[in-house]
């Protein structure tokens, strides 16, 4: 039987003792990530009844779970992930690789002609542990998400995306500032302090980028 590495043992210990993991279990949330989005939604008042929301990188589904609960019976929640996601009432889910053109066409067909009000992206690549590999992969996903928002988000709409600080980060944020009236970088309390992840909140999509 293989023994766990010190890093995996440390992660497991941290995970088990994590207050957000405990809270998610107690409240029936699909993952601790729900509290990252909850903080951002509440702070910046991102949701309104009747909105159409697209959740990129949705599995296991905590963000869609929160958005669906907050919207009640109104609006639409469309989610996609390369991993399976257990069915959820009121959430339209597509399993597939967002990087695949055929899958993207399927997603765009689901969205239809009506512009989206809010695009959420919590996508992240499988990590190799090597920054020289992981950062370009993460940046590529981020660029695809920005392209999707460019095409489907309504003028005035909001784009919230997880980013990793490192090579390409500043350039990406500059591109967001060309496209949106207001861009802020957020680090929710539920985001682990040692993690390089942050969230870029881009509000007020411009009809034409600067």
Q: Please state the residue numbers annotated as binding site.
A: 61, 63, 81, 97, 122
Q: Which residues pair with 73 in a beta bridge?
A: none
DSSP string, 119-155: EEE---PPP-S-HHHHHHHHHHHHHHHHHHHHHHEEE
**Catalytic-residue membership of 22:** no
CA atoms of 159 and 3, how far apart (whole Å): 42
Catalytic-labelled residue, pool 23, 162, 178, 193:
162
Residue ranges of the annotated binding site for S-adenosyl-L-methionine are 61, 63, 81, 97, 122
Nearest by Cα to 68 from 34, 35, 91: 91
- What is the 3 state secondary structure string of 74-103? CCEEEEEECCCCCCCCCEEEEECCCCCHHH
Question: Which residues are CB-neighbours of 29 under 8 A, at least 6 positions away?
Answer: 23, 35, 62, 65, 66
CA atoms of 179 and 210, how far apart (whole Å): 7
Please count the residues of the chain: 210
Question: Which residues are CB-neighbours of 39 under 8 A, at least 6 positions away?
Answer: 188, 189, 190
Q: In the 8-state DSSP scheme, what is residue 57?
A: S
Catalytic residue positions? 162
């Amino acid at each position: 039987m293989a023994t766990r590495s010190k890093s995996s043992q440390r992660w497991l210990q941290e995970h088990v003792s994590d207050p957000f993991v405990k809270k998610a279990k107690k409240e029936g949330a699909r993952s601790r990530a729900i509290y990252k989005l909850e903080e951002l939604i509440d702070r910046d008042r991102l949701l309104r009844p009747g909105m159409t929301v697209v959740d990129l990188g949705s599995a296991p589904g905590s963000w869609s779970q929160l958005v669906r609960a907050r919207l009640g019976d109104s609006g639409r929640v469309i989610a996609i992930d390369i991993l399976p996601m257990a069915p959820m009432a009121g959430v339209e889910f597509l399993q597939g690789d967002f990087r695949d053109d055929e899958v993207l066409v399927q997603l765009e067909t689901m969205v239809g002609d009506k512009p989206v009000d809010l695009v959420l992206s919590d996508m992240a690549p499988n990590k190799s542990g090597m920054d020289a590999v992981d950062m370009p992969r993460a940046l590529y996903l981020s660029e695809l998400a920005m392209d999707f928002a460019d095409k489907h988000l309504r003028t005035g709409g909001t784009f919230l995306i997880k980013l990793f600080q490192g090579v390409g980060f500043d350039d990406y944020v500059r591109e967001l500032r060309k496209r949106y009236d207001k861009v802020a970088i957020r680090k929710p309390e539920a985001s682990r302090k040692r993690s390089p992840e942050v969230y870029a909140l881009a509000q007020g999509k411009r009809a034409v980028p600067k």
